[in-house]
Chains A and B, each alone.
Chain A
Amino acid sequence: MNYKSIFTRYGLIIILAAIVLISSLISPVFLTYQNLMNIIRQISMIGIIAIGATIVLIIGGIDLSVGSTAVFASVFFAGLVSYNGLPIWLAFAISIIAGMAVGLFNGSITVGFAVPPFIVTLASMNALRGLAYIYTNGGVPISKVPSGFSWLGREYLWFIPVPVVIMLLLFIIFSLFLNYTKSGIYLYAVGGNEKASGLSGINVKWVKILAYVIGGGLAAVSGVILASRLNSGQPAAGGDLLFNAITAAVLGGTSLSGGEGTLRGTLVGAIIIGITVNIMTLLNVIFFYQLVIQGFILLAAVILDVTMKKR
């Protein structure tokens, strides 16, 4: 194996190891139990939403509305519990169905009217943010929630935080889905070559809609966890979710032109983002500077992807 193939295969892990090493050297707090738990909890939300973002990128689409879908689902979840007094599990289920409905909308419009997904999801991104504020009567946080509401976001199963368990489960399920099921393989095929897929007898439209539905549903799961962590529904929260989800997928090697990408890569991407954000916070880097740095990380990842492909 030459240098290049070693790098393409293990490059991300090497980068991750380097970041962990440097972080533990420059901050004594970094490797403490408390801090590590913080990081993985943070990662779980990014990770779950990034699974969906990856799947949409695999079909050659993009979903800009995942962040807003998550935020909408989080206030909707809180509202169903707080305003309507629904049991938490039922509110959870309904919120996820709502997220899938958003995906169904995005997918159907994209496919049905041949509108670029960038535009469709840009529109729904804005609309959903508006809806989140409308639903909360102009942005009043929904904080009257019963005890048990925060279980999903704050509790532990044995010693692992609940959201982390959920994330890992979802990663396993969707990895199997992508690699072994008919629909999963069709997602890659459609992203790789829509025309050839259609001529191979694949129902291209259905496959594309499916990707957006999965993306919406997972965004909602992430949103529910967000609400539970905050122990309230906050329409102003979660502004960084979209950016982090796309960055995680791209860092993980998902091709923006479709047909390529693995959830394993996305998971590592999400971990890298989680650690970077954490170490910057520990070092008291002002939030606004963090945004600038994150922006450049995304750019670097894309440039790397493009140049590797050229060679």
Chain B
Amino acid sequence: MTPLIEFDEVSKHFPGVVALDKVSFSIGKGEVHGLVGENGAGKSTLVNILAGTFGEYHGRIRVNGEEVRLTSFGAAEKLGICTVFQEPNVLLNLDVPTNVFLGREPVLSGMGLIVDKKARYQQTEKIFREKIKIKIDLKKKVGNLSRSERQIIGIVKGLVRNASIFILDEPTASLTRSEISNLFSIVKELKESGRTIVFISHRLNEVFEITDKLTVLRDGHHICTVDTKSLGLDELIGAMVGKPIESRFPRTEGYGEKTVLEVQDLSREGEFENVSFRLHAGEVLGIAGVMGAGRTELVKTIFGATRKSSGKILIDGRETGKGSPREAIRSGIGLLTEDRRNESLILVLDVLKNIIISKLQKVIKYSAVNFGMARKHASRYLDMLAIKTPSLAQKVEYLSGGNQQKVVFSKLLFADSKILIADEPTKGIDVGAKFEIYKIIHDLSKEGVGVIIISSEIPELIGLCHTILVLHEGKMVESLPNKDLTQELVLSLALGERIV
């Protein structure tokens, strides 16, 4: 029997990164197919290729045995593919039937242009009654509905378009228990009517509950496609994290006694609660957790970019005030944000200006910037961090991801950061550059800088950190000294599968 969808050596490259590398597997008709892997494994890339978002990719995709090119959203839709993203494609300012029938409105017979609103409403109502079996006030604007209801609308949109393949990208990430069981009964309904579902989730218990088959991706590679029943939880986690690679990390040594940062019962409503920890001079502290665990939110609050709801932040024993990035930088905190291009760098400015921008006063003389002095500082970082750029006057835009990240490190070093917070410092960076960044972090800690690293790559945290803090859904699960820790243990804690 020909499979419904066949991937044949599908690859996708982004500047500096291979997001998917010759992935081949197939999905059978009428199955619920789970797609799992750590962050950055290539799940989203694969989903976006199927949805037609990218337009360009390498390799072949066959649907029902026929080769197709998914060059646009429309092309995917014609093949019966309906993708429901985590943030579904709906128009918040319009009501439910308008959203559901957008682009294929029923018209009044004989009057080609006038929308038959009554028919539209009735048909929507019928689908909800017969197939979805959930009550939603259809007259409400979609913006006033919950996220789970919006996802359901995304599915109904697919039903109206006679879609036969439904891709649900992390549909349960922000849903409550009862909403999830609603969604699962819809998934079962879809399956019974012969449709195929691709299900992406971080929550492995859900994957075991709902899927027939599983495909594991890791670092853009296809690891395996198996019957869900044939696999145990530990085996699955093992497949997701891969074999331990230790040799690429510089050896960690001890750290100082002095507490440079202390966080006490820090909370921010709806994001994280009661987080407490101490960071010592020279200590590397890792924060593990899956998407939605509140990691980025936590460090943004420590940096003063967002306001805390309660709790205390102490730097060198002194409590901080209301908090702002300015204040944080002045007291020696440097933040390397996850979104390098939009939050850390000013792409249209040159390397030099990006390095000095957060502490211009250091090179000001007679109220003017002394560029000679600034260049001297900056050149030192170019050498120290081995930044490859034609000159300091090069726009940062044109550097590779790894070199851009090193410019961010230079910026934080120039600002004399005593506490360095790095949010996914190796995201989207080539393997070689990754190792250099590990070395930078290691050297900084040796010089007494306290470092906090957020990473979705658990081997990275185990390889680099003295201590690992695990967050799950905004709560601190555990603070573990990095001794005899395994990736499996950290991942299952982060997934909320296990409690120490």
Inter-chain contact B330/A192, CB cutoff 8 Å: no
Given A199-B305, A200-B325; A260-B358 close (CB under 8 Å): no
CB of A188 closer than 8 Å to a CB of B: yes
CB of A196 closer than 8 Å to a CB of B: yes
**Chain A residues near B369 (CB-CB < 8 A):** 180-182, 185
Inter-chain contact A259/B344, CB cutoff 8 Å: no
**Cα A198 to Cα B328 with chains together (Å):** 12
**Chain B residues near A193 (CB-CB < 8 A):** 342, 345-348
CB of A203 closer than 8 Å to a CB of B: yes
**Chain A residues near B330 (CB-CB < 8 A):** 201
Expressed in whole angstroms, the minimum distance between the Cβ of A190 and any Cβ of chain B is 9
Looking at chain B's contact residues, the main secondary structure is helix
CB of B431 closer than 8 Å to a CB of A: no
- Of all chain B residues, the one with the shortest Cβ separation from A260 is B348
- Of all chain B residues, the one with the shortest Cβ separation from A179 is B369
**Cα A259 to Cα B358 with chains together (Å):** 16
Inter-chain contact B329/A200, CB cutoff 8 Å: yes
Inter-chain contact A196/B329, CB cutoff 8 Å: no
**Chain A residues near B305 (CB-CB < 8 A):** 198-199
Given A180-B369, A199-B325, A201-B325; A185-B344 close (CB under 8 Å): no
**Chain A residues near B176 (CB-CB < 8 A):** none
CB of A172 closer than 8 Å to a CB of B: no
CB of B335 closer than 8 Å to a CB of A: yes
Inter-chain contact B343/A199, CB cutoff 8 Å: yes
CB of A189 closer than 8 Å to a CB of B: yes
Residue-by-residue, is A197-224 near B (CB-CB < 8 Å gives 1, otherwise 0)?
Answer: 1111111000000000000000000000
**Cα A181 to Cα B343 with chains together (Å):** 23
- Of all chain A residues, the one with the shortest Cβ separation from B396 is A192
**Chain A residues near B359 (CB-CB < 8 A):** 201
Looking at B361, B364, B368, which has the most chain A CB atoms within 10 Å of its CB?
B368
**Cα A197 to Cα B360 with chains together (Å):** 13
CB of A300 closer than 8 Å to a CB of B: no
**Cα A191 to Cα B348 with chains together (Å):** 9
Inter-chain contact B335/A185, CB cutoff 8 Å: no
**Chain B residues near A195 (CB-CB < 8 A):** 342-343
Inter-chain contact B364/A182, CB cutoff 8 Å: yes
CB of B11 closer than 8 Å to a CB of A: no
- Which residues of A36-89 are within 8 A (CB) of B? none
CB of B278 closer than 8 Å to a CB of A: no
- Which residues of B364-418 are within 8 A (CB) of A? 364, 367-369, 371, 411
Inter-chain contact B346/A192, CB cutoff 8 Å: yes
**Chain A residues near B364 (CB-CB < 8 A):** 182
CB of B480 closer than 8 Å to a CB of A: no
- Which residues of A158-202 are within 8 A (CB) of B? 176, 180-182, 185-186, 188-189, 191-193, 195-202
Inter-chain contact A199/B335, CB cutoff 8 Å: yes
CB of B357 closer than 8 Å to a CB of A: yes
**Cα A201 to Cα B323 with chains together (Å):** 11
- Which residues of B315-362 are within 8 A (CB) of A? 325-326, 328-330, 335, 337, 342-349, 353, 357-361
Inter-chain contact A185/B367, CB cutoff 8 Å: no
**Cα A16 to Cα B358 with chains together (Å):** 39
Inter-chain contact B348/A200, CB cutoff 8 Å: no
**Given A180, A182, A197, which contacts B346 in the complex, CB threshold below 8 Å?**
A197
Inter-chain contact B358/A201, CB cutoff 8 Å: yes
Inter-chain contact B348/A196, CB cutoff 8 Å: no
Inter-chain contact B357/A199, CB cutoff 8 Å: no
- Of all chain B residues, the one with the shortest Cβ separation from A203 is B326
Given A182-B360, A188-B349; A201-B329 close (CB under 8 Å): yes
- Of all chain B residues, the one with the shortest Cβ separation from A193 is B346
Residue-by-residue, is A276-302 near B (CB-CB < 8 Å gives 1, otherwise 0)?
Answer: 000000000000000000000000000
Inter-chain contact B348/A185, CB cutoff 8 Å: no
Expressed in whole angstroms, the minimum distance between the Cβ of A261 and any Cβ of chain B is 10
Interface residues of B (CB under 8 A from A): 303, 305, 325-326, 328-330, 335, 337, 342-349, 353, 357-361, 364, 367-369, 371, 411
Apart from the given pairs A188-B349, A199-B303, 13 other A-B contacts in the complex at a CB distance below 8 Å:
A176-B368, A180-B369, A180-B371, A189-B353, A193-B346, A197-B357, A198-B305, A199-B343, A201-B329, A201-B330, A201-B358, A201-B359, A259-B348
A-B contact pairs, 12 of them (CB 8 A): A180-B368, A189-B349, A192-B348, A193-B345, A195-B342, A195-B343, A199-B335, A201-B325, A201-B328, A203-B326, A255-B348, A260-B348
Interface residues of A (CB under 8 A from B): 176, 180-182, 185-186, 188-189, 191-193, 195-203, 255, 259-260
